[in-house]
């Protein structure tokens, strides 16, 4: 079983997690920029965080044979702090990086005006940079937040197929489905969505435009719930190809819209030197 976790915060995870993920079949991840639990108080904290997502974390993942990409954004919670919002002006520099495959996590936390302003601006940035957008839906008042999200997407004019609306459940899935956007489900050990409820949703509405993620972070979460969902799908009678579609080909299709995914793990000798190499190939990327 090959697994692409389309939403996981590896910055908060250990090398044991990387090992267990690789053993479970995880070969690619997308790490969305988000809140760190402790509120940031200035733009420089974002810069160091973005640099880490594009540098150190990518390197850590590579050591375990996992391809790492990220999404970059000002998250909804910190969009409410005027000390943090100037980071919006620096986002274009980061959205130009090879390792960035979407704008995100954007969206709503408490449905404030400041959140809506930052959300709208970042949906525009996604359009300007030819990137998909990855949207967090709020824990509280989720259905209203989901409706408002889809209204903003339509108002900005981003194609629904370039938008992933995440942390969905039985109540919010249909409105996103009807809008034609991608549907993300975060599978947690004991809250939100679990593998069996996920399987029931797949049985009801099929595999199109569905992404399953662990959303594992610094809170109570489990980086292997993607694998558990794949196992639950097989137990429920889905085929290996169905599992591959949900856990690999769907995320590749969604984030592949960035034109930036590199998924094949390299095979190199540690002693390759910079000059005079024979392993270089001159293809233009996607």
Partner 1 sequence: MTTLDEQTEQRLVAAETAVRSDPTRVRSLFPAAGRDIGRTRTAPGAAPGEVRLEDVVRVRLLATLGEALAEDPDTLAREVADLYRFGDAAERRAVLLGLATLVDAGRGERAALLVHDALRTNDVRLVAAALGPAGAALLDADAFRQAVLKCLFVGVPLDLVAGLDQRADAPLRTMVASYADERRAAGRAVPDDALTLLDPAGPDAPTQES
CA distances from 94 to 33, 61, 68 (A): 11, 20, 16
Size of the chain in residues: 286
Q: How far is the CB of 279 from partner 1 (least distance, A)?
A: 6
DSSP assignment of 123-146 equals HHHHHHTT--EEEEPPSSSHHHHH
| Residues 231-260 contacting partner 1, CB under 8 A | 259-260
Comparing CB distances to partner 1, the nearer of 238 and 254 is: 254
Interatomic CA distance for residues 229 and 260, integer angstroms: 27
Instruction: By CB under 5 A, tell whether 34 contacts Zn ion.
Output: yes
Q: In the set 44, 89, 98, 203, which binds partner 1 (CB under 8 A)?
A: 98
Interatomic CA distance for residues 168 and 149, integer angstroms: 12
Q: How far is the CB of 285 from partner 1 (least distance, A)?
A: 5
Comparing CB distances to Zn ion, the nearer of 105 and 177 is: 105
Comparing CB distances to partner 1, the nearer of 125 and 150 is: 125
Q: How far is the CB of 126 from partner 1 (least distance, A)?
A: 17
Give 3-state DSSP helix, strand, coil % of the chain, rounded to 5.
45, 15, 40
Which range in 49-57, 82-90, 177-185, 210-218 contacts Zn ion by CB under 5 A? 210-218
Q: Is the peptide bond before 105 cis (omega within 30 degrees of 0)?
A: yes
Burial per residue of 21-34, b for 16 or more beta-carbon CB atoms within 10 angstroms, e otherwise: beebbbbbbbbbbb
Q: How far is the CB of 19 from partner 1 (least distance, A)?
A: 14
Binding to partner 1 by CB under 8 A, coded x per residue (else -) over 32-71, reads -------------------x--xxx-xx--xx---xx---
Q: How distant is the alpha carbon of residue 116 from its chain centre?
A: 20
Comparing CB distances to Zn ion, the nearer of 34 and 94 is: 34
| Residues 68-97 contacting partner 1, CB under 8 A | 68, 93, 96-97
Residues that bind Zn ion (CB under 5 A): 34, 215
């Amino acid at each position: 079983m090959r697994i692409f976790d389309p939403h996981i915060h590896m910055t908060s995870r250990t090398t044991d997690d990387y090992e267990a993920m690789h053993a479970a079949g995880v070969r690619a991840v997308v790490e969305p920029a988000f809140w760190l639990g402790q509120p940031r108080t200035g733009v420089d904290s974002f810069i160091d965080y973005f640099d880490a997502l594009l540098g150190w974390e990518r390197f850590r993942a590579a050591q375990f044979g996992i391809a790492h990409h990220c999404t970059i954004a000002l998250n909804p919670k910190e969009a409410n702090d005027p000390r943090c919002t100037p980071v919006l002006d620096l986002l274009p520099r980061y959205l130009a990086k090879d390792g960035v495959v979407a704008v995100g996590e954007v969206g709503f936390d408490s449905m404030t005006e400041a959140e809506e302003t930052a959300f709208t601006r970042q949906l525009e940035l996604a359009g300007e940079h030819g990137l998909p957008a990855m949207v967090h839906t709020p824990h509280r008042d989720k259905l209203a937040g989901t409706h408002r999200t889809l209204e903003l997407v339509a108002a900005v004019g981003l194609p629904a197929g370039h938008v992933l609306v995440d942390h969905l459940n039985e109540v919010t899935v249909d409105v996103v489905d009807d809008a034609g956007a991608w549907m993300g489900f975060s599978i947690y050990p004991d809250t939100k969505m679990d593998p069996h409820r996920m399987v029931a949703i797949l049985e009801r509405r099929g595999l199109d435009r569905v992404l399953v993620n662990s959303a594992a972070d610094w809170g109570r979460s489990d980086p292997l719930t993607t694998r558990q969902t794949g196992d639950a799908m097989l137990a429920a009678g889905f085929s290996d190809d169905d599992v591959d579609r949900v856990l690999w080909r769907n995320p590749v299709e969604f984030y592949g819209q960035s034109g930036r995914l590199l998924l094949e793990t390299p095979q190199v000798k540690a002693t390759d030197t910079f000059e005079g190499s024979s392993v270089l190939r001159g293809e233009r990327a996607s």
